[in-house]
Amino acid sequence: MRVNLFDFYQEVTLRYLRQNHGLSGISKQLEQRLCNELARLRQDYRKGIPIDYSDKHRRVAYALHYAPKHAVIWREYAHLFGHTANQNLDLNLLGPGPGSELFGWLEGIDWANPGAVAIACIEKEKSWLEFLQCATAMYQETTGIAIKGTFSTDSSKMIKGAHLLGSFVLTDMGRSGELHTLGRLVASANRPLTATFLDAPAYTNKQGATCLVSTEPALGFTSLKGYGPDLRAAILREMDACKPLCCRYDQFDVPNINAFFRNYK
């Protein structure tokens, strides 16, 4: 069954607030708080400071505003790559947060016979775990695809040889001055593997300078600049088809997307 990714993240959010915070919905007061937090998060992304996701309201605002859009982008790219899977699938996820790349990728797969998905999540911010658990439980109930996973800050916990996906994590690492560690982080942990990252082409560093992700010498990724689906149209179609249960944050920019690939031998 095909999932509307905006409906999905709204429902996951409501479940998360109910199960983990005893809230029965999104009150006007909470909605205002989420809007304020989203505005602060947007400013932080522009300032080029390390992004802190430890605040619950910030994570919920992110999950409602950014996660479904990123998930649609991943689904469109999975379609573009003609991605297929047999019965089972193993994935490594770097910086999944609310799991946008996971659910987008799974929705874009042409399954021969849907089976079980094993994921290893390497995530710096431990407090995303509960949200991601709610999301995987709901995806499983909706689609019948079983997802089993581990969640760790330690890259050696990756599944050996499984495809590594990373969504908007490179620019976050750049803002924290950590991008140069990526090659070592993924390559030394589990070879051979293939990595696919979707991200904006550039970020602002701590000194306020604009830096291109693709010029990080340790990476050597291939960039598909200027090649890709009409992401804005795909996101708008998905938004139009969803049933808004709570705040939707209609205003959005679609960043230029670069896709980065590398095979680590």
Ligand X SMILES: C[S@@+](CC[C@H](N)C(=O)[O-])C[C@H]1O[C@@H](n2cnc3c(N)ncnc32)[C@H](O)[C@@H]1O
Binding site for ligand X (CB under 6 A): 53, 66-67, 70, 94-97, 100-101, 122-125, 128, 167-169, 172-173, 178
Integer CA distances (angstroms), 65 to 81, 179, 236, 253, in order: 26, 25, 13, 11
Q: Is 90 helix (H, G, I), strand (E, B) or coil?
A: strand
Q: Using CA atoms, how far apart are residues 154 and 257, in angstroms rounded to an integer?
A: 27
Q: Which is nearer to ligand X, 115 or 205 (CB)?
A: 205
> Which of 174, 184, 183 lies closest to 207 in space, CA to CA?
174
Q: 197: which strand partners?
A: 166, 260
Q: Which is nearer to ligand X, 22 or 211 (CB)?
A: 211
> C-beta of 67: minimal distance to ligand X in Å?
5
Q: Which is nearer to ligand X, 109 or 174 (CB)?
A: 174
> C-beta of 59: minimal distance to ligand X in Å?
9
Q: Using CA atoms, how far apart are residues 47 and 45, in angstroms rounded to an integer?
A: 6
Q: Which is nearer to ligand X, 17 or 68 (CB)?
A: 68
Q: 202: which strand partners?
A: 212
Q: Is 192 helix (H, G, I), strand (E, B) or coil?
A: coil
Q: Which is nearer to ligand X, 115 or 254 (CB)?
A: 254
Q: Which residue has the tokens 């960039």?
A: 223
Side chain identity at residue 117, one-letter code: V
Q: Which is nearer to ligand X, 95 or 201 (CB)?
A: 95
- Measured from each CB, the residue nearest to ligand X is 95
Answer positive or negative: Cα dihedral of 77, 81, 82, 84.
negative
> C-beta of 52: minimal distance to ligand X in Å?
9
Q: Using CA atoms, how far apart are residues 96 and 121, in angstroms rounded to an integer?
A: 7
